Amino acid sequence: MPAKFGVSNGGHHWPVADIRAVEDLGFDSFWSGEHIVYHRPILDAVTPLAYAAAVTSRITIGPATLLVPLRHPTLVAKEISCLDVLSGGRVVLTIGVGGDYAREFAACNVPVNERGQRATEAIEIMRKYWAGGRFDYDGKIFKLTDVDMLPLPVQPGGPPIWVSGRQEGPMRRAATLGDGWNPYMYTPDRCRASFSEVKNMARAAGRTLPGDYVWACYVFVSIDDDVATARRLAIEDMSTRYDQDFAGLVDKYCAHGPPARVAEHLARYVEAGVNHFILAPVMPPDRRRHHLERIATEVLPAVRAIEPSPVA
């Protein structure tokens, strides 16, 4: 099957017309980034996704990425279950541990050094809620007695859970508990290596990954017919997003330039095994539709013609 393509709002507010454009132009999914306390204005993930669920009818919706350690897993299970009901079963939950902004964890009264364990237990707890019936849970952090949750998600067993991250811990979580692995700021070569590592970790844990396991990647895209302009805009955008200078990183982590050049860059990810892209377009708010149209009509057809390589 051809690779699928989604679009992330980067945690920015998009009006209805721009969200609908993602669906109308043939993309497969819409994603919302988030932070709770951060150095720039940014939304949480769940609220914009409820908004998106109401104004779309076909595309998958999900957070990219939900910082799950900052919330109690019971609340996450409830919010995501309700979102799945409201969207008619169109949710994918992509989770990460965060930790890059310490003030955020302090504001939520969550120890940064617990974030990995909290994420692991959250996945286990959410799946138990979504399976139906009452249960107890005795984790290192979370203790639950005689709990259940209704309504259940539309999707049996709950929405798929993709684990996002860049390091070994999230990879192991993806291998043992996830329905997909979604790295970000990875080159195609690093994607290929991590995909093989996740598969090996799963095998070592006695798990055979299902045939529909998702090998995703979050990739920045900056379209302009002039390469230098596209590169400059990407540096400005990514430096503002992450509060650091991206001049020395942009060539590794952003597909930039004319459509053919961007398509060539994304094709290397498909050849590495990526079967679902979450694209983060660099574009001015008043030109979103134009940029999305160019990606949909001038980039995606060429990339969709390539079959994702099997993960070894």
174: closest CA among 65, 268, 101?
Answer: 65
Q: How much is the mean pLDDT over the chain?
A: 97
The answer to whether 139 and 124 have CB atoms below 8 angstroms apart is: yes
What's the rounded Cα separation, in Å, for the pair 54 and 48? 10
Q: Which residues contact 106 (CB under 8 A, 6 or more apart)?
A: none
CATH assignment of the domain containing 181? 3.20.20.30
Does residue 290 lie in a domain region? yes
CA distance linking residue 58 with residue 42, whole number of Å: 26
Q: Note whether residue 89 is domain-resident.
A: yes
Q: Which tens digits make up the pLDDT trace of 229-274? A: 999 999 999 999 999 999 999 999 999 999 999 999 999 999 999 9
Total domains present in the chain: 1
Calculate mean pLDDT across residues 277-292: 97
CB 37 within 8 A of CB 85: no
Segment 52-101, tens digit of pLDDT? 999 999 999 999 999 999 999 999 999 999 999 999 999 999 999 999 89
What is the model's pLDDT at position 160? 98
**pLDDT (0 to 100) of residue 150:** 98
Give residue 244's pLDDT.
95
Q: Which amino acid, 115?
A: R
143 found inside a domain? yes
Mean pLDDT over residues 158-183, rounded? 98
Q: What is the pLDDT of residue 48?
A: 97
* 159: in domain: yes
Residue 311 lies inside a defined structural domain of this protein: no
The pLDDT confidence band at residue 152, using thresholds 50, 70 and 90, is very high
Host domain of residue 119: 4-304
* Per-residue pLDDT tens digits for 138-149: 999 999 999 999
Q: Residue 76: beta bridge partners?
A: none
Q: Is residue 310 part of a domain?
A: no
Give pLDDT, residue 184.
96
Q: Band the pLDDT of 186: cuts 50, 70, 90.
A: very high
The tokens for 130 are: 């979504």
Burial of 245 (0-12, 13-18, 19+ CB in 10 A): exposed
Peptide bond connecting 151 to the previous residue in cis, omega within 30 degrees of 0: yes
User: What phi, psi does 9 have (nearest 5°)?
Assistant: -85, -5
CA 264 to chain CA mean position, Å: 22
Q: Is residue 297 part of a domain?
A: yes
Please answer whether residues 276 and 215 qualify as being in contact, where contact means their C-beta atoms are separated by less than 8 angstroms. yes
Question: Per the domain annotation, does 312 fall within a domain?
Answer: no
**Confidence (pLDDT) at 191:** 98
